[in-house]
């Protein structure tokens, strides 16, 4: 009994000691498989792998845990519990992993392939020295270039043999020279294509780079730590407790003095994070700092490789997945007239590609991840500082896809980026200076192919994906922006992606006798800009001392926020410049404080002395994103009063355009509306702009079928399509300074629709006058409160009639009737209505607003007259056409008789054919 108790005690003590020993066993932090690459074939179908275990300090340790093996293609290459790898006799490849206690090894690739005739495979132990580049004709090694290896003297190799490693070493080439020594043979190998190493090879792999242990770049390994976050690896700056080389105690990196710029312009490595270039031969002081704790990278990438020698060789190679970069950089540079720039790049980490042996000469290498920025611009030797914060995420695929039957490849370029960014400029306050700086920041992922053991000579930077944002800016003093009518300060922030081949892509593809005709993909999207002007209106142009001038400033709603929901407008300033050549004449009219989300600003200004609004009043905006005493005002634009210029509807066989002319018809001021391929040509006899009107600078027009039988029509105000339909006809004109009207005839009857200049519906009423509708007008601002006017064909009389209709009930009152002719042209100027019966008797009748005849004017010139415009300063413009040539006749008033002034041939000006119709925006007595 006592003996049994003692046995239980011993068992208990042993179990405690055993648990204690297991608890004290060092935990495995990393697993390494050797060799890192294997080639199997029919003569050597199996090999054993060795597994080594390391703790978190990098010390090799023993482990009693069971090793679990995984093969991505077990039907091609299998692996048993002892790490013995066997090929199934099928040409192909597989990626293998070893796992212990949840810790995975880096993957290795195992290839099953037949050697080419004359090829000899050696194990890594038979190479006494690793390979090194012996001679290269260019900066990058290419077919025919040579490298050196040393092999065991017991190997029987001859000139012309193709020697390759069956394991990890990057050796594969034809022997062109042998130096036989007692303890080694020195071989000079000529680099050959893959097909001369293997007679039959197939690679079809999609390798998760998230399974590969990243390698920190040596220049930053002292500054970064790695942290796993799920399947992703985050790279973060360490907290700096002491100063290190290239790093100030505050954590700022790199101070570049002007004496060192020449060195850096040669892309030499610097102490710290960045490799930088500057403008060629530019002796400028630079400084760069990267805020500690602000840099992080993450990736979830896959390397896809499809190579099949039987079907043509390289078919696809790409990097795809998600990449993220977040960093903040501060930089200063002295900008010079003629342009200067600074570009800096930091490769923070490399993700090795798990392909070794001879294939690593072509498909090995790494995917470097990093961040970069560029700053530059122009100024008069201004020392510019900037801070740029980038938070960029992108889903990318960038690579090559090659034709199996041809010799051409195309780039794979797909990206969907999400970028958040903000910036701040440190701009100097020198007097009379224009500064145009830009700064760009991006994260990048590069596919760098070739053996990592042969350094840069056998590395091709073949593909690159960039994702980030760029700020372009322009700053000048307020008066300088006014003096130069073609210049306005401002800034824009956009996000971009750039995907495609890198600098060595063509050299790499030359190994496979492939070309690359396609170019890289670049996309850019504006996400922030300084506010822009929609309109700056005044109710009068010329003013006297004491006159009240009403000002209205409307901002473009698309430019008000610098991030969604963050309003960017701080203040609006209105300046008056009486003499733009003298800064002392620039006076502040008013500063308007912006309320949150405010788009329209009003101000009633009492003029202190006479002047002209369109020549002297300028609007500027001050934003929240950028504030600077000298350069913080960005010009919006000059005041505009209602135009008094004629607008013409000009048509050729395919296009109708509405254009604004200068008062003497010397030039086209602006194209106001265009409907392409809707012209009244022989192929489209019923289509085109059928009518238009101008009211306070806003053009409204109808495009489509103008017949009353229906058809497709679009009613457009400015650039906005208000209504479109298949069975509607629209006839319209400007109602007054704020409204545009539409008479709509459809199957349900006829209506009057009123819209504001933003295209918003104000009111819709039925009208009861009947008759066939023609373009209608509203005479006078005071009258629009109760009535509108239109022209209709009164069927009971067979006459064209001008009528009033009530805005309350649509009831009508005929105020003027004329016999039915082609002269149904009514114009409203001030307190008068002008009716032109031009085709039959060349007369223009002047009436008051109630249709009472006041004067009649006779046009001396005859001809097929299309239209007329009553112009300011008591002149009239008549449009006529002879055999497809359009003319403008300008007449002057002279004792109730119009005398000919001059004729302008518009067909020579437009080279477009016919002038169909004309409008005058408004009239200033």
Residue range 537-542: mean pLDDT, rounded: 82
Say which range, 233-242, 446-455, 900-909, has the weakest mean pLDDT.
Answer: 233-242
User: What residues pair up with 497 in beta bridges, in sequence order?
Assistant: 467, 523
Please state, in angstroms and rounded to a whole number, the distance separating the CA atoms of residues 153 and 397. Answer: 47
Q: Phi first, then psi: give them for residue 65, nearest 5 degrees.
A: -75, 155
Say which range, 168-182, 650-664, 709-723, has the weakest mean pLDDT.
Answer: 709-723
* pLDDT, tens digit, 9 for 90 and up, residues 741-772: 666 655 555 667 777 666 677 777 776 666 55
Q: Phi first, then psi: give them for residue 361, nearest 5 degrees.
A: -65, -25
What is residue 497's three-state secondary structure? Answer: strand
pLDDT band at 259 (very low <50, low <70, confident <90, very high): very low
44 DSSP 8-state letter: B
565 DSSP 8-state letter: T
The yes-or-no verdict on residue 900 having pLDDT over 60 is yes
pLDDT band at 318 (very low <50, low <70, confident <90, very high): very high
State both tokens at 166: 């069956």
Please state, in angstroms and rounded to a whole number, the distance separating the CA atoms of residues 507 and 577. Answer: 61
Residue with tokens 């009737």: 817
Highest-confidence segment of 189-198, 415-424, 853-862, 872-881: 189-198
pLDDT band at 247 (very low <50, low <70, confident <90, very high): very low
What share of the chain in percent tops pLDDT 70?
65
State both tokens at 911: 């080279």
* pLDDT, tens digit, 9 for 90 and up, residues 556-600: 988 898 766 789 999 999 999 876 455 557 889 999 999 998 999
Q: Phi first, then psi: give them for residue 143, nearest 5 degrees.
A: -55, 135
* pLDDT, tens digit, 9 for 90 and up, residues 108-164: 999 999 999 989 999 999 999 878 776 555 556 666 778 889 999 998 899 999 999
* pLDDT, tens digit, 9 for 90 and up, residues 375-387: 888 887 677 888 8
* pLDDT, tens digit, 9 for 90 and up, residues 622-670: 998 876 655 668 999 988 876 667 778 776 666 677 787 776 777 777 7
pLDDT band at 555 (very low <50, low <70, confident <90, very high): very high
Q: Measuring CA to CA, how many Å separate 745 from each of 617, 772, 807, 829?
A: 44, 9, 17, 27
How far apart, in Å, do the first and last CA atoms of the chain sit? 129
Longest pairwise C-alpha distance within the chain: 146
* Among 118, 157, 514, CA closest to 316: 514
483 DSSP 8-state letter: H
809 DSSP 8-state letter: T
Please state, in angstroms and rounded to a whole number, the distance separating the CA atoms of residues 465 and 579. Answer: 52
Highest-confidence segment of 80-94, 384-398, 478-492, 848-862: 80-94
Preceding peptide of 35 cis, ω within 30°: yes
Q: How many Cβ atoms sit within 10 Å of the Cβ of residue 719? A: 10
Q: Measuring CA to CA, how many Å separate 881 from each of 189, 652, 724, 901?
A: 84, 14, 32, 17
Q: Phi first, then psi: give them for residue 318, nearest 5 degrees.
A: -155, 160
User: What residues pair up with 37 in beta bridges, in sequence order?
Assistant: 109
Q: Are 413 and 500 in contact (CB under 8 A)?
A: yes
* pLDDT, tens digit, 9 for 90 and up, residues 772-783: 555 555 544 445
The yes-or-no verdict on residue 207 having pLDDT over 60 is yes
Residue by residue, DSSP assigns 142-176 as -TT-EEEEEE-TT----TT-EEEESSSS--EEEEE
Instruction: Please report the pLDDT score of residue 833 as a whole number.
Output: 78
Cα torsion angle, 82, 84, 90, 93, sign: positive
- The helix (run of H) or strand (run of E) holding residue 479 is helix 478-483
CB burial of residue 158 (10 Å; 0-12, 13-18, 19+): exposed
The yes-or-no verdict on residue 280 having pLDDT over 60 is no
* pLDDT, tens digit, 9 for 90 and up, residues 473-514: 888 888 888 888 788 888 888 888 888 888 888 878 877 888
Instruction: Please report the pLDDT score of residue 725 as a whole number.
Output: 53
* Among 825, 824, 836, 830, CA closest to 848: 830
Please state, in angstroms and rounded to a whole number, the distance separating the CA atoms of residues 757 and 695. Answer: 9
Instruction: Please report the pLDDT score of residue 593 as a whole number.
Output: 94
713-717 and 720-725 strand pairing: antiparallel
State both tokens at 702: 């109808």
């Amino acid at each position: 009994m006592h003996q049994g108790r003692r046995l239980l005690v011993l068992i208990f003590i042993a179990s405690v000691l055993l648990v204690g020993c297991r608890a004290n066993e060092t935990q495995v932090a990393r697993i390494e498989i050797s060799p890192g690459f294997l080639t199997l074939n029919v003569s050597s179908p199996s090999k054993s792998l060795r597994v080594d275990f390391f703790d978190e300090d990098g010390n090799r340790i023993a482990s009693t845990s069971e090793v679990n093996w995984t093969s991505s293609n077990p039907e091609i290459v299998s692996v048993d519990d002892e790490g013995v790898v066997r090929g199934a006799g099928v040409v192909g490849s597989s990626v293998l992993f070893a796992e212990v206690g949840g810790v995975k090894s880096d993957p290795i690739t195992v290839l099953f392939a037949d050697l080419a005739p004359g090829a000899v495979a050696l194990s890594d132990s038979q190479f006494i020295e690793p390979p090194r580049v012996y001679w290269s004709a260019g900066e990058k090694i290419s077919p025919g270039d040579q490298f050196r290896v040393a092999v065991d003297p017991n190997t029987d190799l001859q000139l012309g043999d193709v020697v390759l490693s069956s394991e990890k070493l990057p050796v594969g080439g034809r022997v062109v020279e042998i130096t036989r020594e007692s303890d080694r043979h020195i071989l000079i190998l000529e680099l050959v294509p893959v097909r001369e190493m293997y007679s039959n090879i197939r690679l079809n792999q999609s390798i998760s780079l998230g399974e590969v242990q990243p390698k920190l770049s040596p220049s930053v390994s002292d500054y970064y730590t790695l942290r796993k976050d799920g399947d992703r690896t985050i790279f973060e700056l360490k907290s700096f407790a002491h100063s290190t080389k290239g790093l100030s105690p505050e954590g700022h990196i790199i101070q570049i003095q002007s004496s060192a710029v020449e060195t850096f312009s040669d892309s030499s490595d610097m102490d710290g994070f960045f490799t930088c270039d500057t403008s060629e031969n530019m002796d400028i002081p630079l400084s760069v700092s990267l805020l500690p704790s602000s840099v992080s990278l993450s990736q979830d990438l896959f390397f896809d490789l499809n190579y099949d020698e039987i079907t043509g060789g390289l078919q696809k190679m790409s990097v795809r997945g998600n990449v993220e970069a977040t960093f903040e950089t501060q930089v200063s540079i002295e900008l010079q007239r003629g342009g200067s720039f600074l570009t800096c790049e930091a490769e923070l980490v490399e993700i090795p590609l798990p392909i070794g042996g001879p294939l690593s000469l072509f498909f090995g290498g790494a995917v470097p991840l990093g961040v970069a920025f560029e700053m530059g611009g122009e100024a008069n030797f201004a020392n510019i500082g900037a801070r740029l914060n980038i938070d960029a995420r992108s889903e990318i695929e960038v690579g090559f896809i090659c034709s199996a039957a041809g010799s051409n490849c195309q780039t794979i370029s797909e990206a969907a980026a999400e970028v958040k960014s903000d910036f701040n400029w440190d701009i100097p306050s020198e007097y009379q200076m224009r500064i145009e700086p830009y700064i760009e920041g991006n994260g990048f992922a590069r596919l760098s192919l070739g053996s990592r053991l042969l350094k840069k000579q056998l590395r091709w930077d073949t593909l690159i994906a960039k994702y980030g944002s760029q700020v372009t800016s322009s700053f000048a003093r307020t008066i300088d922006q006014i003096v130069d009518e073609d210049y306005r300060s401002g800034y824009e922030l956009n996000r971009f992606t750039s995907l495609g081949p890198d600098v060595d892509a063509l050299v790499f593809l030359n190994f496979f006798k492939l070309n690359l005709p396609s170019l890289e993909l670049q996309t850019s999207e504006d996400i922030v800009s300084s506010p822009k002007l929609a309109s700056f209106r005044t109710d009068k142009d010329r003013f006297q001392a004491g006159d009240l001038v009403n000002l209205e400033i409307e901002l473009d709603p698309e430019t008000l926020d610098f991030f969604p929901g963050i309003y960017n407008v701080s203040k609006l300033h209105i300046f008056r410049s009486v003499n733009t050549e003298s800064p002392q004449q620039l006076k502040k009219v008013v500063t308007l404080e912006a309320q949150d989300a405010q788009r329209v600003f009003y101000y009633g200004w009492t003029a202190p002395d006479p002047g002209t609004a369109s020549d002297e009043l300028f609007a500027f905006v001050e934003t929240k994103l950028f504030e600077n005493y000298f350069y913080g005002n960005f010009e919006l634009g000059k005041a505009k009063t209602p135009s008094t210029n004629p607008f013409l509807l000009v048509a050729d066989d395919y296009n109708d355009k509405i254009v604004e002319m200068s008062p003497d018809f010397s030039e086209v001021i602006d194209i106001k509306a265009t409907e392409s391929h809707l012209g009244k040509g022989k192929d489209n006899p019923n289509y085109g702009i059928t009518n238009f009107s101008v009211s306070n600078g806003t053009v409204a027009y109808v495009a489509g079928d103008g017949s009353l039988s229906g058809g497709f029509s679009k009613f457009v105000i400015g650039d906005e399509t208000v209504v479109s339909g298949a069975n509607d006809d629209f006839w319209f004109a400007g109602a007054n300074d704020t409204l545009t009207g539409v008479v709509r005839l459809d199957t349900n009857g006829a209506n009057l629709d009123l819209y504001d200049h933003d295209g918003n519906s104000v009111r819709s009423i039925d009208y009861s006058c009947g008759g066939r509708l023609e373009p209608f007008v509203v005479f006078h601002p005071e009258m629009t409160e109760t009535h509108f006017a239109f022209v209709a064909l009164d069927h009971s009389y067979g006459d064209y009639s001008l009528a009033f209709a009530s805005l309350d009930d649509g009831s009508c009152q005929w105020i003027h009737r004329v016999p039915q002719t082609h002269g149904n042209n009514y114009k409203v100027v001030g307190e008068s209505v002008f009716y032109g019966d031009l085709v039959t008797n060349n007369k223009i009748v002047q009436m008051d607003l109630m249709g009472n005849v006041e004067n009649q004017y006779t046009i001396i010139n005859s001809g097929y007259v299309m239209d007329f415009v009553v112009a300011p300063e008591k002149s009239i413009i008549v449009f006529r056409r002879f055999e497809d040539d359009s003319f403008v006749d300008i007449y002057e008033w002279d004792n109730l008789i119009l005398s000919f002034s001059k004729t302008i041939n518009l067909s020579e000006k437009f080279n477009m054919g016919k002038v169909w119709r004309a409008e005058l925006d408004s009239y200033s007595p």
